[in-house]
Each structure stands twice: as C-alpha cells, then as structure tokens.
Structure 1
C-alpha cells in the first residue's frame, strides 16, 4: 500500500510509520516540525525513518493547504492517516489559538485533500478527552461527548463532526480513533512518563496532580499502532453496502463513518505508575502533590470491545512492562542508569 501519514515526526506517527515500513508499505510522511517541544527529538525520529526504504517526508505545516495538497498528490495514497495535531491538554489553556490553527484549519485541509484524492480509507486521530465530564465508565463510543473540558478536547470533537460531514457528502470512508493516554519510547517531553523519569533521575520534584488520586488507561504505543494498522483494513462501508451488523458498532446511518476506542481497557492509579518508574530507576521521586488542574479529569477507562470485534485485537501490554521499555530508551538517549 501507499500510505500518507501526517505527523510522522511525532510520537505516534513515527511508530506507525516504522511499523508500516517494516511490513513493506510505502510511507509519505508530512510534519510541520513545530517547536512545541524540542525539535531535535522530531528530527531524530524523521532521520531514523529516512534510513528505511520506502519513506519520503515533506516538512511543512498542516495550515499550508497548497503544500499539503502537493505532497499528498505526489504520494498518490491508497490510505491517509491523519495524526498531526497540536497536542497537550494543559497547553490548550496557555495557547488556544494553536489548537484552532492546527486542529481545525489543519484537519479541514486534510479533509479537502481526501475529497480530492478519494483514498479507500481515511483514518483520523481523536482523543479520550472528548468524553469530558462523563463519569460512566468504562467509556464506550456510544456515549454522548457533549461536555468537553478543554479547547483541545473541543477541537477533537469538532474533527469528528467535520469528518462525518465529509464522509456523508463526499463518500470518503473515515474511521476516527480515540486514544487513551499513550506512552512508550520516543514519547513527548511534555508527557507525564517523560517528565517523571527526568525529574527522578535529576533529583528534582515531580508534580503529582489531585494528590495522586488519578486513574488512567495507559496504552503502550506499539499496541496502539498495531491497532491502527489493523483498522486500516476495516473501512466503514456506505449505508447501502452493509451486511450483518456488528454488536456495538458506531457506523453512522448516513455515512461511511465510525469511531473506535483504542485503550488498554484497564485503570492504573497514578501513584502506582510513579512507583513503577521508581522501581525501574532504583531511585525514589521527590513528590510535589498538587490539586487537580483545570480541564483535567480524575479517571479514564476504555471499553475496547468494538476494536476487538472489528480487528480481533486489543492492546494488552502491562503498564510495568511498558514503563520498563521507556526507561531503557530514556537512559539510552539521555543517560541515567549505571551499567
């Protein structure tokens, strides 16, 4: 297959591109290389991908509609996977315009490209943050998502709605996937695992919100991209071409569109996550307990029954194994553990 991926210099896009290249597919990556975090990490990811045959990269912004269309036309993709976005729940409180530019305008540009090129499947990243103030867990795709708590979540909810309109009007099969707290090697420096590991090794305090009484459905990145790869082969059919319904399916009655959770289907207490990092590093954290941050939620938990019914797969890496893999990577990249 020829696959066009936005966000290949990012955490998840890098891992997905690497998986697809290993399977022999051609990947054209597209990334804006913004300075939201250390660009050198993004450059290293792209450099690694360029070592693989079948990878081509365009470095330009999603908001640059002409550059995006030119790159996509050159790729002539069978499939488009849209992962690029302005990420980070807390950063949306500081710089909301970045989310409007990247997540709304950028995604609109991707949808326009899909309308023009008509790939056999467009897959787009959403987030568990769209569940917002919901408290009925585990979160199922059928639940209402009308109570976002941050602009980041609101832009992703808008992306889901925009995608539905394009699927209905232009017939492009679109799958949205809602990620749950993805972690692992090559992760972003603004993510908890990276910050905790760095702080523990440097002997600086780590901020633990809600006094540690937070629960997350931590999803190992390699599990996540395997799920995306399997979903590529399951495009939602148009309404007039459907056969036996799948239990719990989120297929729209009006469009080839569905939304799917991707999570580990388990809750891990934040303090247990911290203790797993401490155990791997052999060093205790200096803990700075803080109240809940604005826009944050106390818990997430994914119902991934639909993912399993569609693909026969669900993520299952235990969080302690994933943490160990990240710590090994971090210490290899930045130093820390004594041999």
Structure 2
C-alpha cells in the first residue's frame, strides 16, 4: 500500500510562440524529481502534479494536460517558458493577463523565463519589484517597464513569489528552484545530477533560498506577504504590517504565524537574508552596503543574522558562491 502524499500542482503556461522544449523539459524535470522523492518513501514530501495551460488569443487559459488528474485546486506555482521568436503584443492578451494576476492573488508563485519575464512585466506584477530578462531585450524592457527594478546582469532573480530568469535555457534552473523549495535541496541536486544540468549548490550547502508559504488561503496575510516582498521588508513594523492586513495587532500575529509558520520578525529576517544571498552571489557591493540595502542599519546585526540562517559569514558565503562580474556578464 503506497504512502499518502500531499499534492503540489505546478502549472506550465503554453502561450502563442512558447518554446515547447521548455514546456516538456520542465514536465520531465518534475517527473524525475517525483521519482527520486518516491525513493525516500516519506509522506512529508509532496507529489508534484504538473499541468499544462493553453492560452489562446482572447480566451482564459485552460488545462490541457495533467500528470496526475484529480480535483481542481489552486496552483502552487505557475511557470512561463521562453519564446525563441521573442515577445510580440499578441502574447499578452487581456484574458491571459487577468488570469496571471488571479493566480498570483490566489497564492501561486510565478516564474518567468526570458519572454516569460516580459509577460509578468506586462501584468504589472513586477512593478516596484526586482527582475531580470534576456540581454537582447534588456534596453527595451527598461524603457517599456520603468517601474521594474531591472537587474539585467543577474541570471536569476528569486524574489520569493516572483522569480525571473535571463537565459533561454534557464528553465531548468527555475524548475530546480521549485524542486528545492518543495522537495528539498538534496532532491534538487539529485535531479540536476540525473539530468546532467548545472545547478547552484548554495542551497544544498546553506539551506534553501527563502520560500514563503503562499498557499495558506488567508487573504489578509497573503496581502501583507506580497507587500513585504515588494518593499523588501525594509523599515517595517508590527503595527504597519497589521494595518496592511486590516487586523488588530494580536490577531495579525496569531494569523501570520498560523499561515506562514514564522513570527513576522523571523519572516522579515529570512526575506532580507534571501535578498542578501542574491547580492553576495551576483554583485560586488560591500557587505556593509548590502546590509544597509536589505534593511539593516547595524552591519554586525546583519552578519549575526546571516550566519544564523545560512551557517556562513557573509564574506565566506561570497567567497564560496560569488560570481565574478565577467562571469555574470558571460552567462
């Protein structure tokens, strides 16, 4: 008799011009991860249910493939693959944009590869957020979406509920990020090894990058989580967070911890350290500057918190996982 496992549905969008190699590659990647997870025979590891969603012009996307058919539920994540032909206006239809916004509002993590990042920008979800995109469209992206904080030299920007990647083949790293979140770093590493694809080992050695729980169903708390991701949890207080949620402080504290598994202060620490890890990997800013950028006025407090969460001092983390500017530009 098999072990009963929770199900996490991961949607893959098929829009006009989408790279089908990425659609099927992601499906295979999650299938391999499921197989490796099954070998552990643990009920704590969810089964990854992969669905394909076809976006036709003028229509809301519809499910056209389901790896494990079952009752309809909310998507844990939605991945938007790249397009070899680049972005064209017809890809961002009004029904598709509304649907993307609704999936995000319902708690799905959205991930865009190359043109997928542009579709996320078209939806407005990236306004005020950090993102990356393919180098060939960086100039036009910056001009068209001035409210997005574009980091064109960064291969992947993991902003918790929104993940963007710059390379056409970066769908594999995006998929592995989600495997890391849902099944753990060892299974992500095993999946990458089986497929013989590159995968950053910072997660396996220092714990997964911060992956907020978004599928809890508490709309007031989800609103605050999206707000914290947008402002980087910088200069926030309990009273301000409670106000954002429209709740009394004690009620907010109780519901926030029940929904996310963390106290608001712990949640903000993880969010800030997650952003700091990215900066340490892909930029050459001083550690004090990074501490200030992610919301710490006391660099020593930042160093202590960073070490507590990752097990490494910021300087050691950079030495181990940092990428030189030349290497970043070449990717």
TM-score by shorter chain over 0.5 = no
Q: Which has the higher contact order (CA 8 A, sep 6+)?
A: 1
Q: TM-score, normalised by structure 2?
A: 0.36
From the two aligned structures, give the one with the greater helix fraction. Answer: 2
Q: TM-score, normalised by structure 1?
A: 0.35
